[in-house]
């Protein structure tokens, strides 16, 4: 895994020294080595900070083709690249290394831009084609690895993180209203917009080209188009994916929470080798899964390492994380993910994780809520308003039939949220309402002096409203890349650790979105994965879904009170959010009148970002 940065300036006004600043700003992403490429007139500069995983001796970047006119810098891993490499050699290409990086250069020579669709892996790479004076940038199908870019006149600047672009003196920093609105609603920036005006994220499954005639951004992947795997054996697909992703020239471990997804991945790993596993526990009973992690580790024979997470860990790491986090991010699970990454890095350079299992195989209650909506729509005499009118008179045993099991919410409160969502016609807006309300709270945070009308969060993908699990489709294109993979990338890279995700193998994803087998119903989530686990780890198969969060409601009234109070007193924040609103949220939470922990954490992280990056 690596960090990449660079520029193409057809006006020739960029000082080449800027490339050093750009790569130094993300040095933690690749502490093992660094490299730079400049063309003859230095109008093109490509930089890399490398974390060495494959071909430690000869895999340094940038890497060129035989003629030196095609050069690549690359962040990620390509699985099955040896087969691609063998085909290239048969076609007359001469490769000097055993790395997947060099394979990319020759694939581009052979297939041009079509090469992006041939790859199975997690990646963001940049190729400079000197002969055709063209830059080619591609990002993996699912957005596992990040890539940001901006265009200023006839210059394009790119980086694995915005800070590389911000370190370029030619870029004028300003906050994006769209990015900020997205953050205040969801706790992260959605789609191609970042928090900075004119800095964009390259979308999953997209590539861009940049030459003297301008910029072109294009999709190379459409979900659900491969029907060849709809009748495949999921057990075999997952086992093969894990086996492929275990290939490494450095030690490999596994994140093991004790939940369904990580336990299944750890089980498959145990079939091939004995390795180290890592988990985080909590004193708070409702949040602690360490017992289950230890159980699975003992059952399959991993060497298990676990640490307890406390409010002191948040305090100790808060400044370190927010000083590097160049976009505001309100998912509090970033913090324990940072700690488990730090723990793992003491022993290994690579870990496998169970990320993506929920989105692919129906693990969230919001998906059941969408399914419930489908049933309600078939009954013409029922709608959200009708059901809400009966809510206060509904006995608890009937409420238990609603798909509203989520954290510690009272059943009637959750039922009200689900039923309010039924009144929203657009499936994407309905889903974002549920996500916002479940994770951050019912009360909205608005930008100061902005219209309080409903925020229109638009995806760059066509959504099929008849899809039985439309929530999965929306999450796949939004929450998964913009929240989940953002979190895992930053938390792991801040510790120079590579995280691989076997669920996101192309064949597994194609199967999940083409199979006619049921992923979930109103009473059960992740039916297929539970069925697999029932054969392998039956005690884990029945476990309910638990998120990897922290007990903010309690901690913000206790050990995190001073940190929170200092953060919301940041006067810079009052330029964006009403001061009285912030203080009321705080006071209501401290008095116990409301649980405002989600909104308060959103503001606390925004304050941390303002302090370091505004």
* CA gap 193, 314 in Å, rounded: 28
Q: Please say whether the beta carbons of 260 and 526 come within 8 A.
A: yes
Cα atoms found within 13 Å of the Cα of residue 237, Cβ hemisphere only: 20
Residues 6+ apart with CB under 8 A from 482: 143, 188, 189, 190, 191
Residue 68 sits at φ, ψ, to 5 deg, of 75, 10
Specify whether 152 is catalytic.
no
Angle at 116 between CA 111 and CA 121, to 5 degrees: 130
Q: Please say whether the beta carbons of 350 and 278 come within 8 A.
A: no
353 belongs to an annotated ligand binding site: yes
331 belongs to an annotated ligand binding site: no
* CA gap 520, 176 in Å, rounded: 38
Distance of CA 572 to the CA centre of its chain: 28
Q: Please say whether the beta carbons of 316 and 339 come within 8 A.
A: no
Q: How far apart are the first and last CA of the chain?
A: 28
Residues shown for the chain:
614
Angle at 495 between CA 440 and CA 320, to 5 degrees: 60
Cα dihedral: 603, 604, 606, 611 (round 10): 140
Catalytic choice (1, 2, 493, 512): 2
- Residue 607 Cα distances to 175, 319, 502, 559, angstroms: 14, 11, 35, 19
Residue 344 sits at φ, ψ, to 5 deg, of -65, -40
269 belongs to an annotated ligand binding site: no
Judged by DSSP in three states, 288 sits in coil
Judged by DSSP in three states, 599 sits in helix
Please identify which residue in the block is written with the tokens 């800095």: 199
Residue 407 sits at φ, ψ, to 5 deg, of 50, -135
Judged by DSSP in three states, 126 sits in strand
Angle at 79 between CA 77 and CA 81, to 5 degrees: 100
Q: Please say whether the beta carbons of 35 and 46 come within 8 A.
A: no
* CA gap 568, 577 in Å, rounded: 10
Cα atoms found within 13 Å of the Cα of residue 34, Cβ hemisphere only: 17
Query: How many angstroms separate the most distant Cα atoms in the chain?
Result: 77
25 belongs to an annotated ligand binding site: no
* CA gap 81, 104 in Å, rounded: 9
Residue ranges for the known binding site are: 100, 280, 353-354
Residue ranges for the known binding site for L-glutamine are: 100
Active site residues: 2
Residue ranges for the known binding site for ATP are: 280, 353-354
């Amino acid at each position: 895994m690596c960090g990449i940065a660079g520029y193409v300036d057809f006006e020739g006004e960029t000082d080449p020294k800027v490339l050093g600043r750009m790569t130094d700003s993300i040095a933690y992403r690749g502490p093992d080595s660094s490299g730079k490429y400049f063309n003859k007139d230095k109008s093109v500069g490509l930089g890399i900070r490398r974390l060495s995983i494959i071909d430690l001796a000869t895999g340094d970047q940038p890497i060129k083709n035989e003629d030196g006119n095609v050069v690549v810098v690359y962040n990620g891993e390509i699985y099955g690249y040896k087969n691609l490499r063998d085909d290239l050699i048969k076609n007359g290409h001469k490769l000097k290394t055993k790395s997947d990086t060099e394979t990319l250069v020759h694939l581009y020579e052979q297939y041009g831009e079509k090469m992006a669709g041939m790859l199975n892996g997690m990646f963001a790479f940049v190729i400079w084609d000197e002969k055709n004076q063209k830059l080619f940038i591609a990002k993996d199908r699912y957005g596992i690895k990040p890539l940001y870019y901006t265009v200023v006149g006839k210059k394009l600047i790119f980086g694995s993180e915005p800070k590389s672009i911000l370190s370029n003196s030619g870029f004028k920093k300003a906050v994006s209203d769209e990015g900020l609105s997205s953050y205040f609603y969801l706790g992260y920036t959605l789609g191609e917009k970042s928090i900075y005006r004119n800095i964009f994220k390259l979308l999953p499954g997209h590539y861009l080209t940049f030459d003297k005639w301008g910029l072109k951004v294009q999709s190379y992947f459409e979900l659900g188009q491969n029907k060849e795997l709809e009748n495949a054996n999921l057990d075999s697909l997952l086992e093969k994916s894990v086996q492929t992703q275990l290939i490494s020239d450095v030690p490999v471990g596994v994140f093991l929470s004790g939940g369904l997804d990580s336990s299944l991945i750890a089980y498959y790993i145990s079939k091939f080798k004995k390795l180290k596993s890592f988990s985080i526990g909590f004193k708070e009973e409702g949040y602690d899964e360490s017992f289950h992690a230890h159980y699975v580790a003992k059952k399959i024979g991993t060497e298990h390492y676990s640490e307890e997470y406390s409010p002191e860990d948040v305090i100790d790491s808060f400044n370190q994380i927010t000083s590097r986090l160049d976009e505001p991010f309100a998912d509090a699970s970033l913090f324990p993910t940072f700690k488990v990454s730090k723990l793992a890095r003491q022993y290994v350079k690579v870990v496998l994780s169970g990320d993506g299992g929920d989105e692919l195989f129906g693990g969230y209650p919001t998906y059941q809520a969408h399914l419930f909506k489908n049933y309600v729509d078939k009954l013409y005499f029922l709608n959200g308003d009708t059901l809400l009118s009966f809510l206060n008179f509904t006995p608890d045993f009937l409420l238990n039939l609603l798909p509203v099991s989520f954290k510690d919410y009272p059943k009637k409160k959750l039922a009200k949220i689900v039923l309010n969502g039924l009144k929203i016609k657009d499936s994407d807006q309905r889903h974002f309402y549920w996500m916002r309300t479940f994770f951050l709270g019912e009360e909205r945070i608005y930008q100061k002096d902005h219209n309080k009308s409903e925020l229109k969060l638009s995806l760059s993908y066509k959504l099929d409203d008849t899809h039985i699990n439309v929530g999965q489709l929306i999450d796949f294109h939004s929450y998964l890349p913009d929240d989940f993979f953002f979190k895992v990338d930053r938390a792991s890279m801040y510790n120079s650790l590579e995280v691989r995700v076997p669920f996101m193998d192309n064949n597994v994803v194609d199967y999940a979105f083409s199979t006619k087998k049921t992923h979930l119903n109103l009473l059960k989530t992740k039916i297929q994965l539970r069925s697999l686990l029932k054969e392998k780890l039956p005690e884990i198969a029945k476990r309910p879904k638990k998120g990897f969060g922290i007990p903010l409601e309690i901690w913000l009234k206790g050990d995190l009170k001073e940190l929170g109070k200092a953060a919301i007193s940041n006067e810079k924040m009052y330029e964006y959010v009403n001061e009285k609103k912030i203080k009321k949220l705080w006071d209501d939470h401290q008095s116990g009148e409301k649980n405002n922990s989600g909104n308060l954490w959103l503001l606390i992280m925004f304050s941390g970002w303002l302090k370091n990056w505004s």
